[in-house]
């Protein structure tokens, strides 16, 4: 960290006061255009008049050179100057040389720091309104005082504003040796919070590690070590609840991967000028939330309030107790400003092959239900990419024991009930309330609390997909943003099973939806089909990057972005998200990470990146009023034909391997059909495929036994 110095101690202030004249000559570092600091900054001299009433003349002693200041000079920040020339610098410490004639609580010799960020700190003297500064005890050191407005405040707010950290909790941070990083380590030590810091590798890294541990770090790792460490497996208590990132790029992505479940990733800088690379399972499996913090925006709300003054008071007390020290810094006289170094110069596709060979059909006897158990004849059971990923072992949920029954969603008929069952009767149609019951079977024995009764005249194909697809679409639109008629959303994977349902619900609720699909020869036909379903507009992956649909006000900028692909398509929809918008990742079918520009998305635009996993939501809300009301509303929409689920092709249960030999693309539109048994009444036109089945070869056919035995697909 670097400081522009205008004095070595407060003793010089008394000398300056003795030399006081009617006006004083000041030297300031200003710039007339955006550009590289060493090219555009120049020193100018000017005369300052006497302070007017309620004004103070201040001699600036020290002013840090923050990365924030240099980014602003380069024109990378939205908080940059509105007109030129503009004085550089944001925080400082100074002493009052003279006050206005009107009564004031300030006295000559008082030590002050700014209450605002854009204070024009790179100067030798300033005239300011007394309401723009805060007085500190003279015993507070110059360096500690000079870093309080931005550096220390940022560290304090990062630890206080996003999660309730208790003694023994852990955090991880990049840029641990930066000014903010050093303050974070000290505050964590004060508050008994474990801190794991990451620094860039360098020749003297061992010495740097020792210094940072002395400051308060629990552990320091290099950017190479963080990718290989087993620290969090060996010491589970160090698994971080919060990740604090000022670097972005590879290092920021690495610390995010070590977050604990339900952890928070807070970005407050992007020193690498590289975006984060994030895989979908970071959101879906771990429920991570990515957010940004902008001190300038915090200042807009709390500047000159009791909250800010109390923060300064608390920090000053810790400094006086010798429990908080300023970050290490190099002092550079302001006349030699060109000598300080550039503060910005800091030293796979998933295998989607379907595992048909891992599945085999077995037969076994199934007992009668007892107590609160129900025996269910499965009628239809969809095949989802989620089911395939579970079998492959790449999905967050893994069966506790093997062999396991495949499948999650189903619609079935109750054939027998236990003696304590009161809600269900033989002949009732049911769907699952929770996932992972194992639906690729002809009969299922389960607890009555695990299933939900639906109307007897329900269409089977619609009912079979409520549990995962339809409920996921509903929760995505209802659970993150309060969408009103006329609002807009954007989604990738728009032609997928779930994407189609999202478009239909948006149309029902008066929400504008823009869908993004991959380019293909028949894309015009597909676009028309999607718009008939309810999409307001459909664009290809190439068109979305160049569209001006939001600039021309054809659509309002989306408040919600829904990501199921990851990779470049996720990047594309994120760039159009409105300020303060939310991007929800619920899958990552491409197997590729997507990139996030922390500076623009998380910090400047205050966007949030979160994940959603219907399996977890169902477990946490099992039989809750929220879950039951959702199912009732969706069933009502299906019953009244206001909502139709996308078409599925039905494959006879005994011919299950055909699904895995056709292709991986349309697998999400298949369902295993168990209605072919002669004693099942669910036959008829309603079960016929809407889209003709493609040619496919029959690999195996095995006739299963009937009621007294169960045919199961296991792996």
Q: Give me the active site residues, please.
A: 395
Question: Of 95, 130, 97, 133, which Cα lies nearest the Cα of 114?
Answer: 133
Question: Of 16, 94, 606, 707, which Cα lies nearest the Cα of 366?
Answer: 707
Q: Tell me, letter by letter, the H, E, C secondary structure of 159-220.
A: HHCCCCCCCCCEEEEECCCCHHHHHHHHHHHHCCCEEEEEECCCCCHHHHHHHHHHHCCCEE
Q: At what angle do helices 295-302 and 306-320 cross, to 10 degrees?
A: 120
Distance CA 654, CA 161 (A): 56
User: Tokens 């610390």 appear where?
Assistant: 255
Contacts of 317 by beta carbon, 8 Å cutoff, 6+ apart: none
Main-chain phi, psi angles of 431, to 5 degrees: -130, 160
Helix intervals (H) in 393-515: 460-464, 471-478, 497-509
Residue burial 508-545, b: 16+ Cβ < 10 Å; e: rest:
eeebbbbbbbbeeeebeebbeebeebbbbbbbbbebbe
Q: What is the dihedral of CA 62, 66, 68, 71, to 10 degrees?
A: 110
Distance CA 707, CA 715 (A): 23
Q: Say if CB 488 and CB 512 are below 8 A apart.
A: yes
CA atoms within 13 A on the CB side of 222: 12
Q: Say if CB 31 and CB 84 are below 8 A apart.
A: yes
Preceding amide of 403 cis, omega within 30:
yes
Q: Calculate Rg over the CA atoms of the chain.
A: 32
Q: Say if CB 564 and CB 496 are below 8 A apart.
A: yes
Distance CA 303, CA 315 (A): 16
Distance CA 675, CA 365 (A): 20
Distances (CA, A) of 629 to 70, 132, 471, 621, 625: 53, 53, 11, 11, 6
Q: Say how many residues make up the chain.
A: 715
Other Cβ atoms within 10 Å of 683 Cβ, number: 11
- Tell me which H or E stretch contains 468: none
């Amino acid at each position: 960290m670097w400081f522009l110095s205008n004095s070595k101690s407060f003793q010089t202030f008394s000398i300056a006061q003795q030399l006081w004249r009617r006006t004083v000559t000041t030297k300031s570092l200003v710039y007339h255009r955006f550009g590289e600091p060493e090219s555009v900054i120049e020193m100018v001299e000017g005369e300052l008049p006497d302070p007017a009433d309620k004004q103070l003349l201040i001699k600036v002693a020290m002013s840090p050179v923050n990365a924030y200041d240099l980014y602003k000079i380069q024109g990378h920040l939205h908080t940059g100057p509105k007109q030129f020339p503009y004085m550089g610098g944001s925080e400082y410490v100074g002493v009052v040389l003279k006050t206005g004639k009107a009564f004031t609580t300030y006295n000559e010799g008082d030590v002050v720091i700014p209450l605002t960020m854009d204070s024009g700190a790179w100067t030798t003297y300033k005239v300011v309104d007394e309401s723009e500064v805060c007085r500190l005890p003279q015993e507070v050191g110059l360096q500690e005082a000079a870093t309080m407005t931005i550096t220390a405040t940022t560290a304090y707010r990062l630890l206080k504003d996003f999660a309730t950290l208790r003694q023994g909790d852990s955090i991880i941070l990049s840029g641990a040796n930066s000014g903010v990083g050093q303050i974070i380590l000290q505050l964590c030590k004060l508050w008994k919070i474990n801190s794991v810091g990451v620094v860039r590798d360098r020749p003297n890294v061992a010495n740097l590690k020792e210094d940072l541990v002395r400051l308060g770090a629990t552990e320091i790792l290099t950017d190479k070590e963080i990718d290989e460490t087993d620290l969090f497996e060996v010491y589970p208590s160090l698994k971080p609840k919060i990740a604090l990132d000022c670097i972005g790029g590879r290092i920021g992505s690495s610390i995010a991967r070590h977050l604990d479940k339900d952890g928070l990733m807070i970005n407050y800088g992007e020193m690498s000028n590289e975006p984060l690379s994030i895989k979908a399972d970071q959101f879906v499996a771990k429920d991570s939330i990515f957010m940004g913090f902008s001190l300038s925006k915090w200042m807009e709300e709390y500047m000159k309030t009791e909250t800010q003054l109390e923060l300064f008071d608390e920090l000053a007390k810790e400094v006086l107790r010798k429990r908080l020290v300023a970050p290490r810094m190099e002092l550079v006289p302001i006349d030699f400003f060109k000598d300080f170094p550039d503060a910005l110069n800091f030293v796979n596709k998933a295998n989607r092959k379907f595992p048909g060979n891992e599945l085999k059909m077995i037969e076994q006897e199934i007992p009668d239900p007892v107590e609160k158990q129900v025996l269910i004849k499965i009628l239809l059971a969809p095949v989802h990419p989620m089911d395939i990923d579970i079998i492959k072992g790449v999905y967050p949920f893994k069966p506790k024991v093997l062999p396991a029954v495949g499948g999650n969603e189903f619609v079935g008929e109750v054939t027998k009930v236990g003696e304590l069952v009161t809600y269900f009767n033989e002949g009732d149609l049911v769907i699952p309330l929770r996932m992972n019951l194992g639906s690729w079977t002809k009969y299922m024995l389960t607890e009555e609390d695990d299933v939900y009764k639906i109307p007897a005249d329900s269409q089977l194909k619609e009912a079979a997909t409520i549990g995962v697809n339809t409920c996921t679409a509903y929760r995505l639109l209802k659970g993150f943003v309060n969408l009103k008629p006329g609002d807009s959303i954007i989604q990738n994977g728009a032609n997928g099973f779930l994407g189609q349902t999202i478009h239909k619900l948006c149309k029902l609720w008066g929400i504008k939806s823009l869908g993004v699909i991959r380019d293909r020869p028949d894309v015009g036909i597909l676009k028309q089909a999607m718009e008939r379903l309810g999409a307001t507009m459909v664009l290809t992956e190439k068109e979305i990057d160049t569209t001006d649909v939001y600039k021309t006000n054809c659509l309002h900028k989306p408040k919600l972005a829904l990501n199921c692909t990851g990779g470049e398509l996720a990047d594309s929809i994120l760039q159009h998200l409105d300020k303060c918008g939310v991007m929800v990742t619920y899958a990552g079918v491409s197997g590729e990470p997507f990139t996030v520009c922390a500076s623009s998305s998380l910090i400047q635009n205050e966007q949030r990146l979160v994940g959603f996993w219907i399996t977890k939501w169902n477990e946490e809300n099992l039989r809750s009023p929220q879950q039951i009301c959702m199912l009732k509303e969706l069933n009502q929409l299906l019953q009244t034909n206001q909502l139709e689920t996308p078409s599925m092709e039905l494959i006879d249960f005994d011919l299950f391997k055909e699904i895995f030999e056709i292709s991986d693309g349309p697998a999400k539109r298949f369902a295993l059909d168990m209605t072919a048994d002669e004693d099942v009444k669910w036959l008829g036109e309603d079960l016929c495929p809407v889209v003709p089945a493609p040619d496919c070869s029959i690999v195996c056919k095995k006739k299963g036994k009937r009621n007294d035995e169960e045919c199961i697909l296991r792996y």
